[in-house]
A = this chain, B = another copy of it.
Amino acid sequence: MITALAGGVGAARFLTGLVRLVKGEDLTVIVNTGDDIDLFGLHISPDVDIVTYTLAGIVDEEKGWGIKGDTFRCLEALGKFGCEPWFNLGDKDLATHMFRTGLLKNGFKLSEITVQVSRALGLDLTILPMTDDKFETRIVTESGSVHFQEYLVKRGAKDEVLGVEFLGVESAKPAVGVVEAIMDSELVVVCPSNPVVSIGTILAVKGVREALKRTGARKVAVSPIIAGAPVKGPADKLLRGLGLEVSAFSVAKLYSDFLDTFILDTADSAEKGRIEKLGVEAKVTNTIMKSLDDKIELARTVLEG
């Protein structure tokens, strides 16, 4: 049994390699839902969908999210009502949000629905949201606290980050299966995702960090920071906003209380020593995933621990 902790695009790319080496039935992916947002009455789970679409082979690979070849008729029509939709919603993609929202209204849990969606799209691995409860990542900016999607998509991650808030963190419980998967695994992989708003949220859910400390699994993380910058997304701004250094070392430090092995890019080999002083084994390899072969090779390194 292998469990992966995942955010969106970076995690999904990494997992594309991992699923070539591991049977679906042996893999559980726990996905960040701090980015989830209700728009136009629909419940949208961006990271869950990115992981699901990517592994199902239907993601728009160029963008890293959405469904390839999707049309945007509904979104265009929404624009005519003068409500300027800042969040991209393809017509096929909408079906996922509607299916999810309809079942939520009928009392199903997000975790149950996520499994249904992934099965309908032909996946045999288990994708779990980190929690079925309300958990909302908000970014504190000079103009106030805004939903993470508003910070990222609507405002283009341009605001200075003054802080990060996790609304609901006091009461959100891990979805059924999350702690169990961590405890029952031989390997827990922390995907190359944003350490603050993707992995940091999962770790903040009550009981998850404790499970990672208690489990007998080997715990391996892949750095999302290469040569002092994230491959994608605003991890640099968020780390800086929290007063942290933007480096592989900085990420390793955030995980050092539970982590066994940290995999960093050859570009950051100079940080190996600093990371090992945290009590974490540091492995240097190529972590840039351009081709499928790169992804499989990186997954193989992770599996070898």
A residues apposed to B, CB below 8 Å: 38-43, 70-71, 73-78, 80-83, 91-92, 94-96, 98-99, 101-102, 104-105, 116-117, 120-121
Contacts and interface: CB of A to CB of B under 8 A. Distances in A.
A122 to B, nearest CB: 10
A82 B120 contact: yes
Most buried by B among A43, A101, A121: A101
9 contacts: A41-B41, A41-B98, A41-B102, A42-B101, A73-B73, A76-B95, A78-B95, A81-B96, A83-B99
Contacts of A73: 70-71, 73, 91-92
Contacts of A38: 105
A25 B212 CA distance: 67
A112 B34 CA distance: 33
A216 to B, nearest CB: 37
A78 B99 contact: yes
Contacts of A41: 41-43, 98, 101-102, 104-105
B120 A98 contact: no
Contact of A74 (B74, B76, B83, B120): B74
B102 A83 contact: yes
B120 A92 contact: no
Contacts of A105: 38, 41
Given A98-B42, A101-B40, A120 B81 contact: yes
B104 A92 contact: no
